[in-house]
Structure 1
Amino acid sequence: MNADVVVIGAGIVGAACARALARAGLSVVVLDRDAPASATSARGEGNLLVSDKAPGPELDLALLAADHWPRLAAELADELGSFPDLEYDRKGGLVVATTAEGAAPLRAFARSQAEAGVETEHLSAADALSLEPHLNPEVTAAVHYPQDAQLQPVVATEALLASARLAGARVLAHREALGLVRDAARRITGVRTASETIGTSAVVVAAGPWSGAVTESFGARLPVRPRRGMVLVTARMAPRVFHKVYDGDYVGATQSAEADLQTSSVVESTPGGTVLIGSSRERIGFDDRLRVAVLAQLARRALRLFPFLAATPVIRAYGGFRPYVPDHLPVIGEDPRHPGLWYATGHEGAGIGLAGVTGDLLCAQLIGTAPAIDPTAFLPSRPSLAARPRTDNTQPGGSA
């Protein structure tokens, strides 16, 4: 079997890359050692956010994605017809401060985002309660972000893969990439699996938090490490949360480089009537054991936003691993030390929202067309990705 490009990972970022490359006329094979959309893409909340990003390259990419996702969702619906609904909903986000000390920083952060092109609306407590009637009335500041949206990430991943197949891509589940094949000049000529070698000159690593382990097995090095997160899910109820609502502490948690546990309050409803409660972040390798103390912190913080949740049953909890990079920017582009080896990874909690534009940006670089945004800040050659000592237990597990 031969292909112009082999994509490693059938999560939402790998699916978006496969779709973009196949639609550009390249032959594409996608490999995943598990089932598609079974790892990180199945363990998130489906957020498409601009509200949590500071001015800079990632926010620029998120603003591009905010305009891109409605078009992409419509294209997929047209292509796939009766395919399950992506549940795309531009419901907006509401960020609040719950202390007097948190009010001014929240407002200042929102002003800096507005200067970078984000739609923001500063609200009084009464205005916030008009959007979220069950919100704690003692909030000290609130900002509404109309561009924030949500979708069902597993359905979105499967839809992108279905579209890629229509364009000729082959998706091989339960097929692990074991290593690269190179010629005498060290050029990539194939990818080895347990059953065959797939001839190719271009390999895209889109294995999420397992990307660091995959690249090491290929003789390369990329500082992508797992960052664990957990979510509580309530029983179904009549709609009582209408936006993505979170405490301003969430932004600091997403941008922190600390390995220790950090929690912040994030609450939102799903179309099915459940409420998702997050979020936590900690770098503990691929340890997936249930941590009741973390769940208790999530519950306590959620009550600061929505006191009514005290009487709401929790029916389950789940966790997953985000692909963490020390400088908090995704890695999109070719490894200059290993020509033919490409990366589309490191999005941490923003992979669902940034998947579509990541696929397009990767494809534009690979085929040599003009990208929609300057890729420089995301390239593997950036100085902030210089080799670092390993600090996490990175024994691989899950999809790659």
Structure 2
Amino acid sequence: MKVVIVGAGIVGTACAFHAASAGLDVTVVDRAPTGAGTTSRGEGNVLLSDKEPGPELVLARLSRTLWDEAGRELGAASLGLEPKGGLVVASDARGLAALGEFALRQQAAGVRAEPVDRVRDLEPHLAPGIPGGVHYPQDAQVEPVVAAVALLRAAVRRGARVHRGEVTGAVTGGAGRVTGVRTSAGAVLPADAVVNAAGTWGGEVGRRLGAPVAVHPRRGFVLVTEPLPPMVRHKVYSADYVAAVASRDAGLETSCVVEGTRGGTLLIGASRERVGFDSTMSTAVVAELAARACRLFPFLRDVHLLRAYRGFRPYCPDHLPVVGPDPRAPGVVHACGHEGAGIGLAPGTGALVTAHLLGRPWHGADPAAHTGLLPGRFLRSGGGSG
């Protein structure tokens, strides 16, 4: 089976890794270097802690297992994989009660969630007076671009190829089946299946393939501090982060997320707003994120920021990725719309896409069981044009 994967970000490279490992003939197409899009603008989150029970959490749990498997096969250092765990903290008693109820639902779905009364035992530099939180030992972090490059190199060792160029349209055969893609350089790449792993551009690539999906950009900022001694042990975020992730509001949503890197810098987020592909620097958002981080970790008031960067998350209206074959265009399989969770969900997405391509179960579950992620849900709701 010849498979063309459109997109060399973390999701596309994970699809290439799993498809090539299964013996498929894989070509990855992207107009930019590996991981140059949204992948390069992410924090590297591999999280279970922020997901409600449902299809995304199922995919997240599978992905968490597969990240560990990839770490053993390729080397954890080659992925920048660090199983640091996460700590979610509440600012008041009401928030703590809501966080506890959320954790109970996750525990019932198989997530390790451990209530913590003395959060400063885990993070000594937290502000005093925080009433409690929940520790998620399964949360982890990878270095996004490093991981994408490692996955693609492993796929190439298994026979995959890389083609630099922009996909401009589909080649179709009988009954409208997609049999390949055309690129901006005039090349035609034949394919038995085409995987749309174009991230934020997944809606446009879907349109070019005759299968548009409702994927839109959602801008976010991340701040980077000067290198510091180890000060933050886990990924630490406030409980309102979960609500910001799930919000459908087009306006600005901010919450506090702080985590360290191996290089000693701290990453501070997170913001979300739907402003199209407007990449304008917003000093107001930067100031709000910095202020929230200082309230959570007071020592940050004396720390310098090195830079702030921004990128676009591939947002779907129901906050779930689109993974699976498109009934309107036989031969097209989507793997996009992961919003801020694409890095964490990439391995599971690659495995699920490969299972769809082969028509085989994966980890004991038939691909058809993941109906909550299939693109047909937008067609039923009238939102498929994206």
Give TM-score, length-normalised by structure 1: 0.92
Could you give the per-residue CA deviations for residues 255-302 of structure 1, whole angstroms, max 9, x where no partner exists?
111111000000000000000000000111111111111111101111
Query: Does the 8 Å contact 2:203/2:216 carry over to 1?
Result: yes
> How far apart are 1:354 and its partner, in Å?
0.9
Aligned-residue Cα RMSD (Å) equals 1.6
- Which of residues 28, 34, 41 in structure 2 aligns to 1:43? 41
**Structure 1 residues 288-307: aligned runs within 5 Å:** 288-307=279-298
> Which of 365, 371, 378 does residue 373 from structure 2 map onto?
378
Find the partner of 1:6 among 4, 8, 23. Answer: 4
**Separation (CA, whole Å) in 2 of partners of 1:364 and 1:234:** 41
Residue identity matched to 2:39: S
Aligned with 2:120 (options 124, 129, 132): 129
Question: What is the DSSP-based 3-state SS (H/G/I as helix, E as strand, rest coil) of the residue aligned with 1:185?
Answer: helix
1:110-138 C-alpha deviation (Å, 9 max, x unpaired): 111111111111111xx211110000111
Give 1:384 shift: 7.3
SS of 2:75's partner is helix
1:93 touches 1:244 (CA, 8 Å); kept in 2?
A: yes
Cα distance in structure 2, aligned partners of 1:143 and 1:275 = 21
Gaps of 5+ in 2: none
Q: Deviations over 1:316-359 (max 9, x none)?
A: 00011111111111111100111001101111111111111110
Cα pair 2:125 2:232 within 8 Å, conserved:
yes
Which residue, 158, 183, 188 being the options, matches 1:167?
158
* 5+ residue gaps, structure 1: 79-83, 392-400
Amino acid at match of 2:93: A
Give, in whole Å, the separation in 2 of the partners of 1:381 and 1:185: 19
1:105 corresponds to: 98
Pairwise CA distance, 1:42: 0.7
Q: 1:192 aligns with which of 158, 182, 187?
A: 182
CA distance in 2, matches of 1:66, 1:183: 38
- The within-5 A match list for 1:76-115 is 76-77=74-75, 85-115=78-108
CA offsets per residue over residues 224-259 of structure 1, 9 Å max, x none? Answer: 111111000000011110000000000001111111
Change (3 A) 1:385 1:185: closer
Counterpart selection for 1:62 from 60, 63, 67? 60
Q: Is the 8 A contact 1:136 1:304 kept in 2?
A: yes
Aligned residue pair count: 381
What is the aligned partner in structure 2 of residue 251 from structure 1? 242
Contact 1:5 1:204 in 2 (8 A): yes
Cα distance in 2 for residues equivalent to 1:390 and 1:10:
24
User: AA paired with 2:176?
Assistant: R
Letter paired with 1:201: D
1-structure distance, mates of 2:309, 2:55 = 31
Structure 1 distance, partners of 2:123, 2:216, is: 36
Q: Which moved more, 1:236-245 or 1:175-184?
A: 175-184
Q: 1:247 to 1:370 in 2, by over 3 A?
A: same
Question: Matches of 1:132 and 1:103 in 2, distance apart?
Answer: 17
Letter in 2 for 1:53: K
Question: Which stretch shifts more, 87-96 or 215-224?
Answer: 215-224
Give CA deviations for 1:13-71 in whole Å, capped at 9, x if unaligned.
00011111112111111110111110111110001000000111111111122222111
What's the offset of the Cα at 1:383? Answer: 5.1
Do the aligned residues in 2 keep the contact of 1:223 with 1:387 (CA within 8 Å)? no
Q: Quick check: 1:182 aligned with 2:172?
A: yes
Match of 1:387 in 2: 382
**Contact 2:203 / 2:215 at 8 angstroms: preserved in 1?**
yes
Instruction: Report the TM-score, using the length of structure 2 for normalisation.
Output: 0.95
CA distance, structure 2, for counterparts of residue 99 and residue 282 of structure 1: 26
2:271 counterpart residue number:
280
In the alignment, what sits opposite 1:81?
none
Query: Are 1:270 and 2:254 counterparts?
Result: no
> 2:16 & 2:380 partners in 1: Cα distance?
25
- Mapped partners of 1:89, 1:268: distance in 2: 12
Alpha-carbon spacing, 1:170–1:293, altered in 2? closer, same or farther (3 Å) = same
Shift of 1:141: 2.1
Structure 2 CA distance for aligned equivalents of residues 94 and 389 of structure 1: 37
CA distance in 2, matches of 1:143, 1:238: 25
Give the distance between the partners of 2:31 and 2:381, measured in 1 at CA. Answer: 29
